[in-house]
Chain A
Amino acid sequence: MASTVPVLEEAEDFSFLPLIHDIIKCMDKENQDVHQELNRLRVRIQEAREQISAMPGIDASPAVQQQRLHMLRDQVRTKNQLLHKYKGLCMFDIQKLS
């Protein structure tokens, strides 16, 4: 019997234990599905490897990433304030020509 295999990119459970458990059960029962389960495990491992390589944002440590995030937020906030300030700056008070 096969248990549900969680998809790596959607579920938050990245564990291989359920799959291994299924394989062990099949081996204990000397079930012919063991090869199928092994195949699934192999495919799952390969997919995980590919997805890890493609994951964005893990080229820096969490601390460095947080630092960059705060810097970007400050940048955007400062620029917004600057624009708001200059656009709302005292414009020329055009009065009627006397």
Chain B
Amino acid sequence: YVLFKPVKSTFSRLASLVKELIEMLALSRTQKLPQPGEDTQVLELLVQRDKEFQELMQTAVEQGRIHQEMQQLEKEAEKRDSDIQLLQKQLKEAEHILATAVYQAKEKLKSIEKARKGSISSEEIIKYAHRISASNAVCAPLNWVPGDPRRPYPTDLEMRSGMLGHMSNLPTNGVNGHLPGDALAAGRLPDVLTPQYPWQSSDVSMGMLPPHHGNDFGLEPPGHNKENEDDVEAMSTDSSSSSSDSD
């Protein structure tokens, strides 16, 4: 049942009755009606149909108003739907952010716990750091300049002046005044093992030095000062570049 059909059909019947009545009235002017009360009957029927039509039209108008209200409600429902979708999207974003934050916080807590288990006294770490840096192994001394013979590793001189070096300086009863094993310590080396350092070039003076003068290896013969300085410069350059790299 829809209203449209009754309204339309009632209207059609009404229109037909109107037409019929008018034709009847027109005919009645010119000739007698076959049935005397026919026009009255048609008129009564017309009145009845008109009344029905009016009622149906009132209902149709009311339905039109309701239809408008329904359209507004539908628009409002659509707007609410979009609001809900927006809220849902925001909630999802918040959930994602929170999940990430919680995960990172848990990881941090794990790291904290791990660090706590392997905790070391800060004093020990500072002492150790001090010990490492005391020998200038990690950084050149503040007053170090190119030419400074100091190195962050034991130099050849320091090695020679140590126990190992002194152990080699035994009594000179060997061939030519030197034992074969003393060739290195004495500074006299075969041609194959030509000394690389300037203080070993004057092997005679080096070999004759008593052990306690080994620490004077820093004092080169006057004739070789320049060569020594060049070598030290070269080493300094290398060392400084390496130390700067270590920085």
Q: Is B8 engaged at the interface, CB distance under 8 Å to the other chain?
A: yes
Contact check, B70 vs A69: say whether CB atoms are below 8 A apart. yes
Partner of A17, one of B7, B11, B50, B73: B50
Interface size on A, residues (CB 8 A): 40
- Contact: B25 with A52, CB < 8 Å? no
Q: Are B87 and A12 in contact (CB under 8 A)?
A: no
**CB nearest neighbor in B for A68:** B70
Q: Considering the chains assembled together, what is the distance between the CA atoms of A30 and B29 in angstroms?
A: 10
Task: For B22, list chain A residues within 8 Å (CB).
Answer: 20, 23, 38, 41
Q: Are B29 and A49 in contact (CB under 8 A)?
A: no
Q: Which partner residue on chain A sits nearest B56 by CB separation? A: A14
The residues of B that contact A69 with a CB separation of less than 8 Å are 66, 69-70, 73
Within 8 A of A (CB), among B28-87: 29, 46-47, 50, 53-54, 57-70, 73-74, 76-77, 80-81, 83-84, 87
With A17-B47, A45-B15 as contacts: A58 and B69 at CB distance below 8 Å: no
Complex Cα gap A72–B46 (Å): 40
What bracket does the count of chain B residues touching chain A fall in? 35 or more
Known A-B contacts: A55-B63, A58-B60, A79-B80. Give 20 more (CB < 8 A): A13-B54, A14-B54, A14-B58, A15-B53, A17-B46, A45-B15, A52-B8, A55-B61, A57-B70, A58-B2, A58-B7, A60-B2, A61-B1, A61-B3, A62-B63, A65-B63, A65-B66, A66-B66, A76-B77, A79-B77
Chain A contact residues, CB within 8 Å of chain B: 12-17, 20, 23-24, 27, 30, 38, 41, 45, 48-49, 52-53, 55-62, 65-66, 68-69, 72-73, 75-76, 79-80, 82-83, 86-87
